[in-house]
Amino acid sequence: MSALETYRNNAAQWLESIAPIYGKAARKGLSVEEDLALARRYQNAKFEAGYAGINWPTEYGGQGLSHIEKVTFESEEMKHGLPNGYFGISLGMPIPIMMQFGSDQDFVKERVLKALKGEEIWCQLFSEPAGGSDLAGLRTKAETDGNGWKINGQKLWTSWAQYSDYGVIVARTDPNVPKHKGLTYFWVDMKAPGVDVRPIKLAGGDSHVNEVFFDDVKISDDHRMSPIGGGFAVAMATLMIERYVATDSAGFGPHLDLFVDLARQIDINGKPALTDGRIRQQIARNYAMRSGLNAITARAMLMMQAGMTPGPEGSLNKLIAVRSRQKLSELAIDLQGSDGFVFDEHAPQKDNWTSSWINAPTGRIAGGADEMLLNTIAEKILGLPQDHRPDKGVAFNQIPA
């Protein structure tokens, strides 16, 4: 047995042992607050067992292993419906960015350790009402205030902000230069005076996203994580990580095996749907697509381990995976006939086709809408010329609002 097979078997045994305590059955009927409390205990149990920060450096509390072990563990973890979603963004983008760009290493190490244990959660404050997917169009201001800064403005669609202890934020520090050049990257205490978090109820029934208002929120200059005016580069580094870390070839919907199971149970013209050539074709196409996306992600992770910056190919993951999830969910609903219309707003998106379908549009907007991803693919991967930009080279305060 290879070392990786031994690792998988050990992980599978541990997960099976704790699944009755933290898994799908244990979570049924819990409120969000109760589920979050359970999730914190599960995250701490992962840390104690050596399964948190699997591919992170040991000096930050990680295990110092490779992406292969991380993917291996997560492939076993996903079988049990465990409560890891609350920490996906926190451990996926803000914390890795803190490790890379944080100035006070003692502070950074403390935050990383607490996040790995589930004691603290971080959010990512990027999108705004007027900016949409155009991050450089943001209007939240950070103005000098003594030896520090004062932040005023509004962010939108911030996942888990209502439960977050800290957040990373991009704000405009100079409106007199072109929009990409006047931004600075900070971290902020989400419990600071002047921070107002308001949850938004989505079509699927949950409220994991929020609008966040900043009213004279004061931070010191050691909260700054980029050169003044150099925030866009750090924001792009965050988004490059997001394209790979916050990704799933299933588009965060049901696994393909669940569709195969459904096709076995449903009949078409008196025969199992699984024997229908059209259904088999959709299964094959999805399998090939998901394998391709997994290969792109694996390559990017190896690049990051080698100290390289992954390329824009991650835009393909986000664009294709969620679109595919939406279409496959729609097909699954169609196969079920009228039974497919039964909707439970508490049903998990990863194992319920109706819940997956109604929540898919949110996934297509979050982290960059389809149109932005298509532009990235066209310009950065295919080498096509940029769209005409009337605001290019124009000072931000001269762009019509």
First-to-last alpha carbon distance for the chain, in angstroms, is: 63
**% helix / strand / coil in the chain, to the nearest 5?**
50, 15, 35
Q: How many whole angstroms separate alpha carbon 224 and alpha carbon 62?
A: 25
CA distances from 260 to 24, 302, 328 (A): 21, 31, 11
The region, left, alpha or beta by phi > 0 then psi within -120 to 50, assigned to residue 229 is: left
Quote the DSSP letter at residue 387.
P
Q: Which of 48, 242, 313, 330 is catalytic?
A: 242
Q: Decide if 312 contacts 381 (C-beta within 8 A).
A: yes
- DSSP labels for 286-313? HHHHHHHHHHHHHHHHHHHHTTPPP-TT
Q: How many whole angstroms separate alpha carbon 166 and alpha carbon 161?
A: 9
- DSSP labels for 171-209? EES-TTSBTTTSEEEEEEETTSTTEEEEEE--TTS---E
Residue 133 makes CB contacts below 8 A (sequence gap 6+) with: 127, 365, 368, 369, 371, 372
Q: Decide if 208 contacts 162 (C-beta within 8 A).
A: no
Q: Is 143 a catalytic residue?
A: no
Q: How many whole angstroms separate alpha carbon 131 and alpha carbon 153?
A: 12
Please count the other Cβ atoms lying within 10 Å of the Cβ belonging to residue 1.
7
The one-letter amino acid at 182:
G
Active site residues: 242
